[in-house]
Structure 1
């Protein structure tokens, strides 16, 4: 078991003057959902996700040594332009990781970031964004402490990313990632995500995720607020127990390739997530009428064709349509014929399982 103190950098590091890195980090879509936090961004229940490939954040970090090391110093650009309303979240992230990365106060950072998908529309932009920033910071740490291993590099990157946005820890490495302690999953941890890709059945190779953009606007209720509402939720403990059980089940399903059981768990998890939102106090609804129309169309199509297509939802109105690669042609035709009309401006994104963060520079 790894403890938090192990992520505190060896104090014998030597500062360098300046440099830059660039990383891309993907979004991810949870199959078993995490909803609810304990102290220090520890998940109330374990989760498992597919890493995406095309929906990602690309972040360039320029760093330059400065004389005043008493406070954080950074400029933030989003798609090439200053973005002041993002800065408080970055400041909070730097405050949380300072204990483990004290060198960050010795540098002025220029953070230049962009997404390949709409921000704040329920496609986990905070996950990919914080993961990309964490990868850049760990690249700097690797320069300062070249002796750290690759395994430690990725574990600490996931640990840091979690302190920015919980699900960001699942966007670091691997096609399928588990986050949260589970007695049946070796080395699983509340502190960081672990790669669970090695024993995945071939049915899930190149699994497809077509994201239907029902609503590209910002969510009415942030995920942070939603997580906090689980503290006094009347169904919280039952939900956490359900998620733990579902992770046990889907672990076997991902190994044996049973698509019928996969569909049952994934769709149930999606609906349970939104049921928690609808039954919290205050209660709220993030799905839209078109979300429900799409779900019903998917159910009808699957029942009539026996094609194993299913849906999942994140904390928003958009629908992730999941299906094996070998039914891609038929499923995309169905999406174009019957589902695109429910999307905002007819927009959707074709994605598939990816492999995690990639260094660009």
Structure 2
């Protein structure tokens, strides 16, 4: 059967970078059927909600989903449950893509673009595995109300069950087994009950499923410091939803620009993967044609590799991005002058 890639360009720079990723896809895998739908603010403008049941249904039937970005100041006044970001959370939860893979690798030609010294980032290759469908972003109760003393308060609940931790921990262990064989699990076990529970459950999973993999534990704040001090000490970092969100964005800057980082969100076998650049909608540069398309193109590379079983095409994309960078192709975030389209042109020339 013909494979289907569903594009969800979204908001801000999302449509700009997804358009360039589509050009690459049509060259390396022209037989893949490409469809498109709305999500986020674009869906609010058209349908009144950030994610329609129809779009979620189409996503569930696709072989892979490539998403651009959601959100922007235009929708700041919308109720939280109807903001563009609610569409993204609904997509993740609806597809049950619980394991978010965020690689942080530094292309050799971008070593000097990093905010860290060359010796700290040259050869950097970290995989952050973030739990994506539970934790404080989804826990109940949550809300803003008034306590018994008449004081307004806001609260969110960090909740994890043992099966939710087990499944994402097993993904991290399996990925480490194909890399350097080391997992560092991150938590706040010193001050949070849910953090101690996370540490205990990850330890238990490792005892049963971690043969050949070394497991260590680190507090989240210490991990943030170590990512800046000595990032190459890490192989695979396993984190909950909140800490994985924060640490992966910090790791992004080690590579030269957040505009270089892709991500993959995976579920159980047979579930379509959700692939998206980490950079967000960047409304300050939307429409200017200067956004870096590499993260979106590398998200396509991950889709080809992880969900579409096209490793040869994925290798071609990765190689072309590396060669274009080696040849000096740069957008403004990397200190260059190329437009979004010109950067994609340079990558296409290398295919």
Which TM class, normalised by the smaller chain length? under 0.3
- TM (norm. structure 2) is 0.26
The structure with the greater share of residues assigned to strand is: 1
What is the TM-score normalised by the length of structure 1?
0.26
Bigger proportion of residues as helix: 2
